[in-house]
Every structure is written in structure tokens, then in C-alpha cells.
A = this chain, B = another copy of it.
Amino acid sequence: MDIFKYVEIDGQSRIPKYRQIVDSIIHNISVGKLNIDQKIPSINSFSEEYLLSRDTVEKAYSILKERQIITSIRGKGYYITRTKLLSKVNILFMINKLSTYKMRIYNSFVNSIGGNSHTDLHIYHCDNSLFLNLLEKNRNAYDYYIIMPHFKTEDLKHISYTDEVVTAINKIAKDKLVIMDNNKLAIEKAFIEIYQDFENDIYNALQHGLQKIKKYEKLFLVYPENSVYPYPRRILHGFRKFCLEFSLDFEILEEIYDDIILKKGDLFITIEESDLVNLVNQIREKEFSLGGDIGVISYNDTPLKELLGITCISTDFKMMGETAARMILDKTKGKVKNPFNFIDRESL
């Protein structure tokens, strides 16, 4: 084959030969001499042509294969799979579902990380096996792995399935791993960790609003229990802890039904936007005063909630993405708790 005339192996160099092979193939891809799906010489023919050990060529090819630049088909050969994303920083961003808030984190991250990086987004739908597949398939292919771990159960210690998840995550090189949002997995040592402390966050935020909350007789947390995508149960725990600590009457609801009976003195904390919409509509319908007769606190702030005057307890999603980007760019490591605030408005 004459395809590889332009590969130069320097016997004198201090750079290992297998690295030279890797680099020259990457170079040939970047200058367009090698294109996607193109076959590259077999290990045998390459080693014969350049008087190299088969082992050396194999090593180079296996590195390129790990980085997903080439793939191998047993009995056929090696083929180019990627022609882009070289010399850039490649980031894999894995989230459980696509919500408004995850989207805002992702977008603020992509904006902050800048043009010298490429970020792929993958959604694993809270599915353990899908997550494991994704991770296995992309092992070593990226420079950073940003993972938001949210799975069907939070009680991670007793489920073997999630054990697999934890071991899979732990197999990622520590300096490539960024854990976001959830810190309750037994991840040994992540490079970067930006988390919400769900239990204490809601507890502390509600405490900030205690004076106003005390005006109400009973607290309702609308927590979607049977949702396909579960919310952290620690939100529940933090809410309960707060209510018990300050001797407040409380109840957990699964959703705001259409025929819900509202009473003066009720205070609702909603998580899903649909529940908030339903609730406010019913308050208006029954001519209660929002923030007077009935209080509403919404989880996760948005600009439109501000316009509506809805009191919120919320983490700062934009900052979450920005912090992750900044820490990667600055190569700082460590654990950072993302700020969580009580945002006082008219609905309380």
C-alpha cells in the first residue's frame, strides 16, 4: 500500500514509535489525506512496510481505537471513524433527562467553556443499563466526563444495579471526572464536584422564610412520587425535618388535582411547573388571594416566575454550568456547593 508514504517514523527520536504512528495518522486525518470510513493498512502490512514490530503498530492502533478515531472489525481491518474534534478538548455531558433546568446548566456550560471545546450531550433517561452502555462505549474517548447522576432509586447502597454504575464511574480517570448536582454517590474522588445538598438546601431556604411561612396554618409539599423521572427524595426529608423542627402541620401531595379543596391558610410548595400552573389557576378561580389567603413557593426559579411574583427556593443553574466550565478551564479541583436561595416575592 502506498497510502502511508507520508507516515514518518523517526528511528532517532525520543518520541516512542507507537506515539509517532498515532500522531501521524491524526495528522493525516486533519490534513484530509485520510477520510471517514476509509480503511487504513492492516497491522501486518503496516509493520512490514515500515519495518516495525507488529506489536508496535498494534499498540498505536489500539490507542487510536480507544480514542474512537478508528474502529476495528475482526477479520476485516481498521477504519477511520472521526475526522473532527481533534486537538479540541472533548467533553461528554451526561444527564438523566432533559428538563428546563438541565438545559440551562448545559447551555451556560457550553457558553462558558468557549469555542476551543466540543461538548456532546447524552441523555440516559434515568436508565442504569443505558448509562453503563454509554459510558462503556465512550470510555477514554473524551477529555472530560460531566455526569449528573440521577437514577430510579436514591438508596444506592442496596441496589446492585447502581453498584455497577458507581464502579463504572469510578473507572473513569479521576482528573477527567466532573460530578454535578448529586453528591450522594460513593464516588471515590472526583476531579470536580458541584452539588446541591438537597436535604439541607430546602431546610435552610425555608428557614430563611420562616417568619412568612409561620403565617400559614398548614404546609403542602407537592412531590411527584410516581413520576418517570424521580426527584431526589432528600427534598422530602429536608422538608419534613423543617416542619417537625418548627412544629408546623404538613402533608405531602403527589400532584395538584383539579378538584383540590383549598383553604385559607394553606401554603403550597410545588416542584413541577404543571402543578404550579394548576394551583395558581385554582386559586384564581376560587378567588383566594395569592400570597394572602394561600401561599405558594415554587422550586427552581425562572424569569417568568419572577414576573409572576412567585416566591421561589432555587439553586442557581446558570452558575452551576459556569462554575464547571471555569474549574475545567482553570484546572482547579475540589468540591463546590452550588448556592441555593430563598427568593422572597409576593406569593408568600
A residues sitting closer than 8 Å to B (CB atoms) are 12-16, 36-37, 39, 71, 73, 75-77, 79, 81-85, 98-100, 103, 106-107, 110, 118, 120-123, 125, 129-130, 133, 136-137, 139, 273-274, 276-277, 280-281, 302-308
Distance between A328 CB and nearest chain B CB, rounded to angstroms: 18
22 cross-chain CB contacts under 8 A = A12-B39, A14-B37, A14-B39, A14-B77, A15-B73, A36-B133, A36-B137, A81-B137, A82-B137, A98-B103, A99-B103, A100-B103, A110-B125, A120-B122, A121-B123, A273-B303, A273-B304, A274-B303, A276-B304, A277-B306, A304-B308, A307-B308
* Inter-chain pairs besides A121-B122, A277-B303, 18 sampled, C-beta below 8 Å: A12-B39, A14-B39, A14-B77, A15-B73, A36-B136, A37-B136, A82-B137, A84-B129, A85-B133, A99-B103, A100-B103, A118-B130, A120-B122, A273-B303, A276-B304, A302-B304, A304-B308, A308-B308
Task: Give Cα distance in the complex from A103 to B276, angstroms.
Answer: 20
> With a CB–CB cut-off of 8 A, which chain B residues contact A39?
12, 14
Contact A76 B14 (CB under 8 A): yes
> With a CB–CB cut-off of 8 A, which chain B residues contact A73?
14-16
Contact A37 B12 (CB under 8 A): yes
Contact B13 A83 (CB under 8 A): no
Distance between A300 CB and nearest chain B CB, rounded to angstroms: 12
Task: Give Cα distance in the complex from A98 to B93, angstroms.
Answer: 13
Task: Give Cα distance in the complex from A276 to B303, angstroms.
Answer: 10
> With a CB–CB cut-off of 8 A, which chain B residues contact A76?
14, 16
Task: Give Cα distance in the complex from A317 to B110, angstroms.
Answer: 24
> With a CB–CB cut-off of 8 A, which chain B residues contact A83?
133, 136
Partner of A84, one of B77, B125, B130, B306: B130
> With a CB–CB cut-off of 8 A, which chain B residues contact A137?
36, 81-82
Contact A304 B305 (CB under 8 A): yes
Distance between A37 CB and nearest chain B CB, rounded to angstroms: 6
> With a CB–CB cut-off of 8 A, which chain B residues contact A308?
304, 307-308
Task: Give Cα distance in the complex from A123 to B71, angstroms.
Answer: 23
Q: Which residue of B lies closest to A83 (CB)?
A: B133
> With a CB–CB cut-off of 8 A, which chain B residues contact A103?
98-100, 103
- A14 and B84 in contact, given A103-B103, A273-B304, A277-B304 (Cβ under 8 angstroms): no
